[in-house]
Amino acid sequence: MPVPRAKQPPPRIQIERTEPIVDCARYPAKRTVGEAVTVDADIFRDGHEVLRAVVRHRGPSDKAWQESPMAPVDADTGGNRWRGLFGIDRCGTWQYTVEAWSDPFASWRDELRRKVDAGQEDLNGELSEGVLHLEAAAARAKGADKKTLAAAAETVANDVDWRVRVSCALDPEVAAAADRCADRRDSTVAGPFEIDADRERARFGAWYELFPRSWGGLRGVTDQIPRLAEFGFDVVYLPPIHPIGEKNRKGKNNALVAGADDPGSPWAIGHHAHGGHDAIHPELGTIEDFDRLTATAKEHGVDIALDFAIQCSADHPWLTEHPEWFNHRPDGTLKYAENPPKKYQDIYNVNWDCEDWQGLWQALLGIVLHWCEHGVRVFRVDNPHTKPLPFWEWLIKEVRAQHPDTVFLAEAFTKAAMMRTLAKLGFNQSYTYFTWKTSRHELIEYVVELATSGMQEYYRPNFFANTPDILHESLVHGGPPAFHSRLVLASTLSPSYGIYSGYEHFENVPVREGSEEYLDSEKYELKQRSLDGPLLPVVQKLNRARRAHPALQFLPNVWFMDAGNESLLAYAKRTGDDIVLVVVNLDPHWAQEGTVTIPAHLGLPPAFAVHDLLADDSFDWRIGPNYVRLEAGGAHVLELA
């Protein structure tokens, strides 16, 4: 008969369904500094032994592991789910493991207690076993614990009164001393698993997108930083600020032929005389102006986000310095960018399969690090789904090794699997399909997926209400009420959201019916912008509410409620004791009414007062149905009074 070949018996403890992990630990889960990582696992073994478990964890560059205790989540029902937690106090890659072991002394104590409770008195055999456990524990212990356990062993072994012996064996202080020197000979370890820790901005922030050339260049943007901060914006996102090519320059409304005064698209990066991705368009200012901008932003708690678009105009210096980095047709001509039927005659994509791919990767890394040296810690990445995934995994890791507080936002509107994978491999935030989710059913289905499907462990959505490329038909046909309701939805459903300048002015004229392109798009012409849009006071109120309420700073804490009307979307968000209730009228044309049902599981009292942060009004609400009437596009954002 064959015999087992292992020198030691295989472990009997099972650790399963450890969370949080992503794709069987292929990728790290994500958290932000200041958060606690809650670790869950199924822990069990054969028999009736008492089990112990800990979460072992260590931060970036730490050599020593620290431990946090785990306890059964469902101890009262005899379940196997255990939970522990540990805190994140700095950016970088954290590791954790789950370790579980059998506790012989605790198992013996549990058996002894049950026999005593059952009235049994002949316990000499059991107590003799306890002496061995106590002596073994004393041999492992140190200091006061060693003395406590040795004394207990003496009492249990020699006292003439069995009641005293039992009482000593079951003494809580003796048990605590034994717990501190546990026998882990049969321990089982699951892991290590990784947590990617970011600063708070990766999870929470209000973005404002603007074209510097419409604000007086970099100096003009610098002048606006205090007011943007006053309105509650955390990130000011700039489309490419680099020199713009002249060859094949686009004109007004994407015309193929530019006029003499047309500035061209900022995404047509590079000019033979002024430089490429590491240069600034001379009409916007100098590198010194840019340094003043990032310094001023930092003083006001604002991040400057820079666009990172890997594409080149026909005038980019790389076309002459590194022609091998670009795609050539058989006739020798360069192939400009296309996404049929769309054509981008003013830009060329790089050739990721060129022989000097390593040189190309290094050059692109150098660009990002260059701007990091000038104070940029947030990058909005243009179309990352059209570039190799291994490149992004490598680049983000290299950048964060030097600047661990850097945040990358993926602008990828593509297949769900690609969007999810970009987030898994390192992107800290991601654009979403929120812009196209307009009905109650669509919004609930999409947010529930983001918040509860497992994506919440790695995918951080940014709900941009509009972009220079996306003017949704709901805004075109819904007018100011639609702008209002979409703003409330974006800012209260998602911890991160953004608007592109013009939104606060209700700009909603498409270049043609059915198009999502703006008429007279700012991508191809200069505008005169100013911070005086009629929607800005509402923006300010919402951003103040977001900062005041932790409930609005997280994603998975959302609970949708019945409102008795398909045009009303009602939801609660709760973090700890902080609760915010939101009701939005999705109809931009008509007032709507309904009854919002507050569920008992939110933990609110039977009757409670709420204060509307938008209208500065108060109401008396209760568990169960509450009547609501909202004007077209109107909303309640309610805090507990």
Range of the domain at 174: 105-179
- Say how many CA atoms lie within 13 Å of 450 toward its Cβ: 27
What is the distance between the alpha carbons of residues 29 and 35, in angstroms, rounded to a whole number?
13
Please give the average per-residue pLDDT across 548-569, as a whole number. 98
In a domain, 553, yes or no: no
What was the pLDDT predicted at 339? Answer: 73
**Per-residue tokens: 350:** 């790089």
Q: Is the pLDDT of residue 336 over 90?
A: no
Helices (H), 453-532: 473-493
**Residue 11: pLDDT band by 50, 70, 90 thresholds?**
confident
Least confident of 175-189, 458-472, 506-520, 597-611: 175-189
In a domain, 123, yes or no: yes
DSSP states along 293-330: HHHHHHHTT-EEEEEE---B-TT-THHHH-GGGB-B-T
Do 215 and 308 reside in the same domain of the chain?
yes
- Say if residues 572 and 549 touch (Cβ distance below 8 Å): no
Residues 245 and 286 in one domain: yes
Residue 261 has pLDDT above 80, yes or no: yes
Domain boundary (517, 548, 579) is at 548
Count of CB atoms situated within 10 Å of the CB of 142: 10
Residue where a domain stops, chosen among 548, 579, 613? 548
Asked whether residue 310 is assigned to any structural domain, the reply reads yes
- Per-residue model confidence (pLDDT) at position 9: 82
pLDDT at 163: 86
Q: Specify the pLDDT at position 76.
A: 62
Q: What is the mean pLDDT of residues 473-498?
A: 98
Token pair for 80: 């196997």
Confidence tier at 119 by pLDDT (50, 70, 90): confident
Q: How confident is the model at residue 293 (pLDDT cuts 50, 70, 90)?
A: very high
Kindly report the number of other CB atoms within 10 A of residue 611's CB atom. Answer: 14
User: Catalytic positions, please?
Assistant: 382, 411
CATH number for the domain that contains residue 343 = 3.20.20.80
One domain, residues 147 and 239: no
In this predicted structure, what is the pLDDT of residue 77? 60
Question: Are 454 and 359 part of one and the same domain?
Answer: yes
| pLDDT for residue 49 is more than 80 | yes
pLDDT of residue 100: 97
Which CATH number characterizes residue 618's domain? 2.60.40.1180
> Domain of 133: which CATH number?
1.20.58.80
Tell which residue, 591, 637, 585, has the closest CA to residue 616: 637
Mode of pairing for the β-strands spanning 635-640 and 188-198? unpaired
598 and 570 in a single domain? The answer is yes
**Residue 577 — very low, low, confident or very high, per pLDDT cuts 50/70/90?**
very high
How many percent of the chain have pLDDT more than 90?
A: 88
pLDDT (average), residues 227-245:
98
Task: Taking residues 457-464, report their average pLDDT.
Answer: 98
| pLDDT at position 329 | 80
We report the CATH number of the domain holding residue 193 as 2.60.40.10
**Is the model's pLDDT at 165 over the cut of 70?**
yes
- In a domain, residue 433? The reply is yes
**d(C-alpha 505, C-alpha 133), whole Å:** 76
pLDDT at 533: 98
Q: Which of 151, 179, 207 is the endpoint of a domain?
A: 179
Rounded to an integer, the average pLDDT of 13-19 is 96
| Predicted local confidence at residue 75, as pLDDT | 65
**Average pLDDT rounded to a whole number, residues 10-15:** 92
Per-residue confidence (pLDDT) for residue 78, from 0 to 100: 65
For residue 192 the two structure tokens come to 């290590």
If you average pLDDT over residues 480-509, what whole number do you get? 98
pLDDT at 7: 76
- Looking at the domain assignment, is residue 3 inside a domain? no
Do residue 97 and residue 109 come from a single domain? Answer: no
Determine the average pLDDT of the residues in 442-461.
98
Q: Is residue 1 part of a domain?
A: no
Pair (368, 245) in one structural domain: yes
Tell the burial category of 575 from Cβ atoms under 10 Å away from its Cβ (0-12, 13-18, 19+): middle
Q: Indicate if 364 and 496 belong to the same structural domain.
A: yes
249-260: per-residue pLDDT in tens?
Answer: 999 999 999 999
Assess if residue 114 is contained within a domain: yes
Closest CA to 184 of 116, 113, 97: 97
User: How confident is the model at residue 122, as a pLDDT?
Assistant: 79
- Give me the pLDDT at residue 196, please: 98
326 and 472 housed in the same domain: yes
Q: Is residue 438 part of a domain?
A: yes
CA distances from 170 to 125, 152, 178, 365 (A): 16, 10, 11, 63
pLDDT at 127 over 70: yes
Query: Residue 268: how many CB atoms within 10 A of its CB?
Result: 29
Asked if 342 and 409 sit in the same domain, the reply is yes
Are 210 and 231 in the same domain?
Answer: yes
**Cis peptide leading into residue 341 (ω within 30°):** yes
Number of folded domains that form the chain:
4
How many Cβ atoms sit within 10 Å of the Cβ of residue 366?
11
φ, ψ for residue 320 (rounded to 5)?
-95, -35
What distance in Å separates the CA atoms of residue 553 and residue 271, rounded to the nearest whole number?
42
518 with 631, same domain: the answer is: no
CA distance 317 to 383: 22
Closest CA to 436 of 479, 486, 485, 509: 486
The proportion of the chain whose per-residue pLDDT surpasses 70, expressed as a percent, equals: 99
